[in-house]
Amino acid sequence: MSIIDEKYKALILLLIVSFIIKLWVWYRTPVVNPDAFEYIEQAKLIYKGKISAAKNCGKKYLSLYHFFIPAFYNIFKDWVFSARALSFFFAVISVIPVFFSFLLITDETSAFLSSLMFAVNPFLCRMSSEVIKDQMFWFLLSLGLLFSLYWFQKRKLLYFFLSIFIFVLSSFTRIEGVLFLFLFPFFVVIQSNKRFYYIIYILSIIVLITVILFRTNFWDFYLAPRLKLMLSFKYFSIDNLLNISPHILGGILYIFSIPFFVLFFIGLKGLLPSLKRIEFKYLLMLGTFSIIFLTILFGFICFSRRYLVIFFFPYFLLIAPCISFIVNKWQNNVYKNKLVLLLSIFIIVTSFSYNIKERRKDCLVYKEAGDYISQQQYRSFVAVLTNDRRVDLYANRTSLTSFCDTKVLTNIKIFNLTKKEIISYLIKNQIKYVFWEKEKWQKEINFPFLILIKKWNEKDNIFKLYKVNIKNENLCNNSYKKCRKVPK
C-alpha cells in the first residue's frame, strides 16, 4: 500500500516536511522583525499579571498571541526564542486542519498533494519564524474552516458550535476573524430549510459571545481599539486603493505561489463540477466577502501581504478538485504513483526556491550586539541607547523587566546634546551601553566616559558598541541634581 493512501502516515510526512522547511527558514532568518520588541515587552508585563499596563505599552491592544508568549517563556526562559517558537509551532501544525479539510472534499492522494503545497507555501514559510500573531490566527482560521466543513457534511451541532468558538478565538488574535465568525452562521441560515431553528441557535451564541466580551477585558484590550480604527472613515481614501492595486496583484501571485496557478489552470476542468457542492459554495462566499473586506481595509489603512491571507485560505482549498482531475486521469497505478512523485518534487522545488536567500543579514549586527550585552548582564535588565530597539530586545532576552516598567528612554540621538546633557540623560535612564550606527547617527561620538568594546564594518556602514563608564558625579559640576535634569 502506498504511503499516500494511508492518511495518518501521510499526515506525519506532511508534518515532517513542514517542520524541515520552516526550520530552514528560521535558520536563514537569524534576526527577528522590528515588531518583536513591542510584542515581547507587552508579554513580559502579562507574565507578571500587569494586564492593564501591558495595553499601554507599545501596541494599543492585546491579542491572544500576547498571552501565549509567557507560556512558552516558562519552557525556554528566553523571550526571543519563546516568541519565535510560538510562531513556528503554529506554522508547522497548521497543516493538520488543512489536510483534514482537503480529505472532506477530495480523495487522499489529492489531499496529500494539496496539503504539501500548503506546507511548503513560500509566504507562509517566510512568516513562520516572525514574532507576529498571524501564524496563530492562520491556524485558528484553518481549524474553524475544518469544523465548518465538517458541519456541512455531518450536520451535527457539535461542529457548528466548535466552528463558532474557534472563529471567536481567531477574532481575538486578528480582527479579520470577525468576518468568518459572522459569515459562517449567515451561510448556514440562508442554506438551511430550518432557518428559524438555526436563528435561535445563532442568537444564543451571539448573546453568549457578548457576555464573554464584556465580562472579560478582551473587548477593551483588543476588539474595541481595532474596530474603532476600521470603522473610522476618517482614514479612508480612494487614492490608497489606486496606489496599492499593483501591490495587491503582486501579493496575490506571491502568496498563492507558482505551483498553485500551474496546477489550478491545468486542472480547472475538474473544479467546475465541484462548484455545485455546498462546501464549495461556502468557500466561494468566504473568498468573495474577503475581497470586499480587504478592499475596505486597504482603503482605511496601508497594504500588507499578510492581510491577503484571509482571501487565500478559502480559495486555496479550491485546488483540491484540480489536482484530483490531473492525478486521476491515469488509471495505471504505476504511472499514477510516478506522477504523484513528480508533482511532489515540483511543488517542493518551486516553493523552496523562494526561501533559499538569507533574510535580514544586514541586521545581524543588532543581534550580535544585543547577545553580547545579554551574556554580560545575564537575566539582569540593561538599557541600551540605540536607534534600533532590537538591540535592547536581544540584550534583555532573559530579563523579566519590561521597559514600560522602568519608563527608560533609549532611542534618542545624543550627539545633538551637550556633554552635561548627555551625562544627565545617561544617568537618569540608567543606560549602560550605547550602540552607534554611522548611517543613522552620522556624527561620531567621542567622550571619555564611553568605552569602545566592539566594532563592526558592514559594507558602507559602521557600527560601534560603547560601554558607559561614569564613575564620578563631578562630571556634572559636582551636582548630581543637575545630572538628573534632562532637556526636553
Q: Residues 34-64: pLDDT tens digits? A: 889 989 999 999 999 888 888 778 777 788 8
Residue ranges, the chain, pLDDT below 70: 1-5, 193-248, 295-304, 331-332, 407-416, 442, 471-488
* Residue 307 pLDDT: 76
C-alpha cell at 237: 481614501
* Residue 479 pLDDT: 40
Containing domain of residue 27, as a range? 3-355
Question: Both 113 and 43 in a single domain?
Answer: yes
Question: Both 444 and 418 in a single domain?
Answer: yes
Question: Both 464 and 328 in a single domain?
Answer: no
Question: How many domains are there within the chain?
Answer: 2
Check residue 476 and report its DSSP letter.
G
Question: Both 403 and 373 in a single domain?
Answer: yes
Question: Both 232 and 281 in a single domain?
Answer: yes
**CA–CA distance, 375 with 364 (Å, rounded to integer):** 17
Question: Both 339 and 450 in a single domain?
Answer: no
Question: Both 301 and 244 in a single domain?
Answer: yes
* Residue 189 pLDDT: 77
Nearest to 390 by CA among 438, 444, 435: 435
Last residue of a domain, one of 302, 331, 355: 355
End-to-end CA separation in angstroms for the chain: 75
DSSP 3-state assignment of 295?
helix
Last residue of a domain, one of 306, 322, 355: 355
Nearest to 296 by CA among 316, 311, 277: 311
CA angle in degrees (0–180, nearest 5) for 264-266-270: 75
Question: Both 386 and 453 in a single domain?
Answer: yes
* Residue 57 near residue 160 (C-beta atoms within 8 A): no
Question: Both 330 and 387 in a single domain?
Answer: no
Please provide the DSSP assignment of 150-166 as one string. HHHHH--HHHHHHHHHH
Check residue 384 and report its DSSP letter.
E
Question: Both 339 and 202 in a single domain?
Answer: yes
CA angle in degrees (0–180, nearest 5) for 330-332-333: 100
* Residue 80 pLDDT: 94
DSSP 3-state assignment of 450?
strand
E-strand ranges in 311-441 read: 383-385, 431-437
* Residue 245 pLDDT: 62
**CA–CA distance, 286 with 187 (Å, rounded to integer):** 9
pTM of the model: 0.86
* Residue 481 pLDDT: 44
Contacts of 74 (CB under 8 A, 6+ apart): none
* Residue 88 pLDDT: 96
* Residue 423 pLDDT: 82
Q: What single-letter amino acid sits at 365?
A: V
Question: Both 174 and 233 in a single domain?
Answer: yes
Strands lying side by side in the sheet with 461-468 = 383-385, 431-437, 461-468, 450-458
- Phi and psi torsions of 360, nearest 5°: 55, 35
C-alpha cell at 98: 488543512
Helices (H), 172-194: 177-191
Query: What is the C-alpha R_g of the chain?
Result: 26
Last residue of a domain, one of 340, 355, 370: 355
Question: Both 158 and 177 in a single domain?
Answer: yes
**CA–CA distance, 141 with 168 (Å, rounded to integer):** 10
